[in-house]
Amino acid sequence: MDRRQRKTREAIFNAFTGLLAKKDFAAITVGEIIEKADVGRATFYAHFETKDYLLKELNEELFCHVFDSMMDSAVNHRHIFDCKESDSLFLHLLYHIYRNDNHILDLFSSVNNELFLRYFKNCMINLLSARKDVTEKSKPKNVPSDFWINHIASAFIECIRWWTDGNAHLAPSEVSDYFLVSVNLKEDFDEKNVDCC
């Protein structure tokens, strides 16, 4: 993708995230997005087939840079975040939320937060399923692996809700520590130095 195409795509993302922070997804029209992004209708459809496809692509841009880099340490950040973080998966994401990079905190706090949290949870389940070397050690006996992975992902979603709903004064590192201790992952993440970059 050349620089001009990338700039157009980012303008559409920025317009869309601005609207999502204020309006329900179902109430947003393509016309509003293109007006706010200052692009033509044909340009919008050259990048995104539908508004739903735009939402899917936005989710991938917001989260996949974290997940891609943890799945393969050779992958460099190549998405909308200008990111040089080298923290664990959980702390990395919490830092992005804390800084409100690309309006991620606004989206998690918006009326559309369920859309983003559901997508994020699915990504996390896929990642944790691929990294059972990290999760299996902390798994309680007689608990199925898929149940444990779903539990960790769900607990992290609730951790984000708790933090953004009134505990934002806490540093990302504190919240990450609380979470890792709560799901018995603290020692495994420290011991194995499970970085996302």
In a domain, 68, yes or no: yes
In a domain, 12, yes or no: no
In a domain, 119, yes or no: yes
pLDDT of residue 194: 44
In a domain, 33, yes or no: no
Is residue 88 classed as helix, strand or coil in its secondary structure? strand
Q: DSSP states of 126-167 as a string?
A: HHHHHTHHHHGGGSPTT--HHHHHHHHHHHHHHHHHHHHTT-
Question: Tokens 């991620």 map to which residue?
Answer: 104
- Range of the structural domain that residue 80 is part of: 52-192
Q: How many domains does the chain have?
A: 1
Structure confidence by residue, pLDDT tens digits, 37-82:
999 999 999 999 999 899 888 887 777 666 665 555 444 444 444 5
At 98, list the tokens.
Answer: 């804390």
| Category of 150 on φ-ψ map: left (φ > 0), alpha (ψ -120 to 50) or beta | alpha
pLDDT of residue 188: 62
Structure confidence by residue, pLDDT tens digits, 159-169:
988 898 888 88
In a domain, 115, yes or no: yes
Q: What confidence category does residue 18 fall into, taking pLDDT thresholds of 50, 70 and 90? A: confident
In whole angstroms, give the CA distance from residue 190 to residue 25.
39
In a domain, 197, yes or no: no
In a domain, 174, yes or no: yes
In a domain, 148, yes or no: yes
- What are the backbone angles phi and psi of residue 90, rounded to the nearest 5°? -70, -45
Q: Model pTM?
A: 0.72
- What percent of the chain lies above the pLDDT cut of 90? 28
